[in-house]
Structure 1
Amino acid sequence: MRIADVLRSKGSDVATVDPSVTVAELISQLATHNVGALPVVDEGQLVGIVSERDVVRRLDVAGPGLLEASVGDIMITGVTTCAPGDSVADIAAVMTNRRFRHLPVVVEGQLAGIVSIGDLVKARIDLLESEREQLQSYIAAG
């Protein structure tokens, strides 16, 4: 199973945030889109990623003033990405080993989607369920 299969099932629409947006606005966007992280895009280019976890960790240090800071001040840069042709198993291993919960999907330098560890777990469970049904059908027919 490939990342493209996950995106086909999930969809490739991606909410993004501009690095100039305030952290308060970011929190609102995370809630509105019901997501835990947003890719940060500036002039069409992926420049970072920011998550609820990033906000909480920096809020502990900076206090309430953080809400007026920009996303660019707290985002993670040097983002690890994946491609639609990558294996779900390989990307799940990368996400587990590097402790990522979200990974942008990039095609020819352009953001094409985002996958979460939950998306990958669901894909693996769906695959196992399909294989189980096929085996049961095979056994029943035999």
Structure 2
Amino acid sequence: MRISELLAQKFQLELQTIQSTQSLFDAAHILCAYNIGALPVVGHGDKILGIISERDLVRSIVSFQDGYFQKSVADIMTTDVITCGLDDPMDDIYELMVEKKIRHMPVVKGERIQAMLSIRDFEFAHRRLVSQSLVDGLTGVPNSQHLTDILDAEFNRYRRFHMPLSVAVIKVDRYAAISDSRGDAACDSLLQWLAETLVRETRAYDSIGRTAEDRFAIVFPNTDAKSAARACARLLRAIRSDPAAQDDSAAWSSVSIGLAQADREMRDGERIMILADERVETAAKAGGNTIEAPDAEAADSEDGTTHTTFRARHEALENLYGTD
């Protein structure tokens, strides 16, 4: 990010400046009135001549004492001013401020002052960039990489404390056909609606992320196969009963779900996600609106689970496991 981009994101009040001939009391009054920490000192044509800060004023009171009110800004301002330009990289300027232990950075174009940035502006922008790198820009849920990190942490907890762990992958049925017939805008609305539904219908400590163009995943910590299957069945009911799904044109309201659980043979969380992804493809090929999950009641098969396809439209999961 460039300094110009940082300024574009910042809510800018009118830039306050001061002349070198003005009094220290004038400087203190401006700083107090506008709740700012430093003032650029300017001359003709807004050419920057120096900078004066709250700390400078405090020191001047101790230094001048009774003569404080007779002193001008020129008597205490810093003239060797470090500045930045509009095209400078934000990270480089932030590192410079930390290295030089300065809290305010004048932004100049040529020799003319353009804006004043504080170190808090840089810290806020950095936190915002970090946050944006962790979420999907369209839906606002964690992106694939962030969800992978969450899953790895939960898998390590599973290995250490032997608490159950489940993962569900949710795939929009006929996504490609929807994209071809209705366009990208319709797909975007679909994904936003589905993300909101997933967030609303899951627990606060479940983690939802978008893992591909047409699918999401849910990490269910401390959740066994039976409880996860029930949660997925409730989720399908919620999607089908949502008012948006009652519109005849809302054929996109059909989803498939693949469910998998951690077991002792798995080395990392990625294997659970792969297994859930394979099962959602099986569910989609079976016609959609379906959950492909391990049968919690059945005997172990060769890979540790027995797969049973549950049709949401027949609500077979409710018959098998009941409801909460």
Equivalent pair of 1:12/1:113 in contact (CA under 8 Å):
no
The SS at the match of 2:19 is coil
> 1:39-118 to 2 correspondence within 5 Å?
39-44=40-45, 45-118=47-120
Kindly tell me: are residues 64 and 124 of structure 1, through their superposed partners in 2, closer, same or farther at Cα, counting changes over 3 Å?
farther
Counterpart for residue 137 of structure 1: 143
The one-letter amino acid paired with 2:210 is: A
| Greater Cα offset, 55-64 or 116-125 | 55-64
The one-letter amino acid paired with 1:100 is: I
The one-letter amino acid paired with 1:38 is: L
| Greater Cα offset, 121-130 or 2-11 | 2-11
Among 126, 129, 154, the alignment partner of 1:127 is 129
Distance 1:89 1:67 in 2: 40
Q: Which protein shows a greater Rg?
A: 2
Counterpart for residue 15 of structure 1: 16
Cα deviations across residues 32-58 of structure 1 (Å, max 9, x unaligned)?
111000000011211000000011112
Gaps of 5+ in 1: none
Cα deviations across residues 56-99 of structure 1 (Å, max 9, x unaligned)?
11221211421331001110002110011111111111111111
Larger RCO (CA within 8 A; separation ≥ 6): 1
The SS at the match of 1:136 is coil
The SS at the match of 1:106 is strand
Distance 1:47 1:2 in 2: 24
Counterpart for residue 30 of structure 1: 31
Distance 2:99 2:86 in 1: 20
Kindly tell me: are residues 128 and 64 of structure 1, through their superposed partners in 2, closer, same or farther at Cα, counting changes over 3 Å?
farther
The one-letter amino acid paired with 2:108 is: V
Cα distance, 1:130 vs. partner?
A: 1.0
Cα distance, 1:21 vs. partner?
A: 0.9
Cα distance, 1:109 vs. partner?
A: 1.9
Q: TM-score, normalised by structure 2?
A: 0.42
Cα distance, 1:141 vs. partner?
A: 2.6
CA RMSD of aligned residues (A): 1.6
Aligned residues: 142
Gaps of 5+ in 2: 148-208, 212-324
Q: Does 1:2 align with 2:35?
A: no
Q: TM-score, normalised by structure 1?
A: 0.92
